A and B are shown apart, each in its own frame.
Chain A
């Protein structure tokens, strides 16, 4: 499927989201839980702002020296006997992985959670080639069984509650237990154990690759990535080209920022780094190791006004505080990357034709920017998108452009504004009822469809002030 998860228009998707009370209830409670935990974990450090600054600095340093660190990483992976493939596009990445799977004649692939493999549409490519692909992250597994898409980058099945999950397992897998999470998890664990043991190839994403050692760092709570990287004979790790750190020292800082921001934990249950195939004398690990480094539009973002979006460490803190996401859910964004980060990233990776509405799906409240552990100015990047859409690409509606031009002129000519302000009260008089406008004309309609609009002052404030000054002058 790739980046896009829907062919429906944005308005329709939003309407669907808003009308899904079930999903909205699940999102609300998840957001509140995740926000509370995140704040507790951040405040516990006592100097969170310093941590954020350090995180930002590390990410910017890597982005500004990306060529150097990518070279170092690939050299070190090769030295340890691994294969490195740079994929310029999603298709190239999927094709390479498919070739490896075909060469191994693998019938079954098991994978841990990875957004970039979603982005490149890897599962579909492998299934087309006749392999079975099994998701081993519990959330992803539920969605795979249900035939659904992720609605959140960390908790992909956040939009489903336990009753729905029980139904999915019952209808698709013959599950007969209750909706108790422990029981559901135990059932999935049993099924997945068989899959782990019979899979020939394991595929993981990569939270951060470590350039100095050629390692791939993986952060999970379920330990599934450890199974994926130790049991199958062939391992493939897929990473976005910006997801790396120079050394273990920076790895530690970013992992701390990630786990605290994503799930409010000091550390997750499993933090693993894997380095190449197993060497002589080692007992576990794969016999063959491939690292696929995916560009897919990222290098086009480097050096532009949007470069900061590449600082993202995919923690979803912005999603967990977003009031828009809260009300429309992840699927409304039409992209595997939802919420504020998705509204910035999706148009860059997938183009404005498909995603030009997303930068407007924000009240610019700044909650995302405040929550981001690596200080991406998300709401400012949304305004930058709007600038590109309105001024560079001229894709905004003509009526809006005319209105904004008129506004610009009116707001720079005091005489014009003064006359308008005086007239406003007369112009809207026919629409007034109890000093409120209940049904506004033209551009006001969307406002008054939802809420009343106040009547303009009978005299603008400035007229009152001037009169008062004059009166005072006379008194003196």
Chain B
């Protein structure tokens, strides 16, 4: 099966290890992984800030980049969901609406792809650690990927899982919200960090690098020794 990575600008520029882990997990499942050239950013930061017209060229660029892909798989529920929004954004556009629909239909978040398309829940990973999981808002509520991450984590050998209190509440990232309303965002991330600490976990797992950068950045700032891992890194772990 040929899988095209929609690697996201955050992973490309800041979290290459997440991308590498994802490639290795997918290849172990027998996928042939490629990275379509020309992909940049889904455009969510400027789209969510209200700059629709300024964002359209970036969106068109993505549609072109993935035109020949069979499956588009992303290590972010939020960025994957942005592709799902394209059809509405380009509704009525004779050239771009069909392309937007095609792209949306073949796009998956990483855990969703493993569980729903590859039908695999045990990827043979092992991680001997006490861990908790933060379900990111866009992945859970908007994309509707709720169970896949838990199904996969359940099969990770050695993983002691502790549920996160108020798991579904937002960590306060929200893209530009984290800088535009940083005082409010700070209160939200502090509550999230409190809950992570309450679990007594050594590792916080998540499926979206934006949220993880936010929570992780606050934890290092406050000197909390909790390790942050993207779920792809957990599923690629062999300890």
Contacts and interface: CB of A to CB of B under 8 A. Distances in A.
A386 B48 contact: yes
Interface stretch (A138-146, A209-217, A251-259, A444-452): A444-452
Given A327-B188, A447-B178, A408 B221 contact: no
A457 B50 contact: no
B217 A386 contact: no
A14 to B, nearest CB: 6
Interface in B161-212: 168-170, 172-175, 177-189, 191
A385 B52 CA distance: 12
B127 interface: no
B43 interface: yes
B46 A404 contact: yes
Interface residues of A, number: 63
Interface string A431-470: 0000010100001101101111111110111101110000
Contacts of A365: 137-138, 141, 169-170, 174
Interface residues on B, range: 35 or more
Given A14-B183, A363-B185, A386 B40 contact: no
B137 A367 contact: yes
Nearest to B46: A404
B217 A453 contact: yes
A327 B16 contact: no
A363 B50 contact: no
B102 interface: no
Given A366-B138, A391-B50, A464-B20, A412 B60 contact: yes
Given A327-B187, A424-B13, A451-B214, A386 B182 contact: no
A360 B58 contact: no
Contacts, number: 200
Nearest to B219: A451
Given A367-B170, A383-B47, A405-B54, A417 B178 contact: no
B15 A412 contact: no
A457 B187 CA distance: 29
B38 interface: yes
A446 B181 CA distance: 8
Given A370-B141, A411-B41, A383 B35 contact: no
Interface string A58-94: 0000000000000000000000000000000000000
Contacts of A408: 43, 46, 51, 54-55, 57-58
Contacts of A323: 169-170, 172, 188, 191
A1 interface: no
B7 interface: yes
A391 B51 contact: yes
Given A390-B50, A446-B179, A451-B214, A460 B40 contact: no
B180 A360 contact: yes
Given A396-B50, A454-B15, A364 B175 contact: yes
Contact of A421 (B12, B141, B174, B187): B12
Contacts of B152: none
Nearest to A443: B179
A412 B182 CA distance: 28
B182 A449 contact: yes
Interface string A397-426: 000110011011111111001000100100
A133 interface: no
A323 to B, nearest CB: 5
B54 to A, nearest CB: 4
Contact of B61 (A360, A414, A449, A450): A414
Contacts of A360: 177, 180-181
A202 to B, nearest CB: 41
A366 B169 CA distance: 10
9 contacts: A323-B169, A328-B184, A361-B184, A363-B177, A365-B174, A366-B142, A408-B58, A411-B58, A457-B15
Interface of B: 5, 7, 9, 11-16, 19-20, 23, 35, 37-41, 43, 45-55, 57-58, 60-61, 137-138, 141-142, 168-170, 172-175, 177-189, 191, 213-214, 216-218, 220-221
Given A414-B40, A465-B19, 8 more contacts: A363-B188, A364-B175, A404-B49, A407-B45, A407-B58, A412-B40, A447-B182, A452-B218
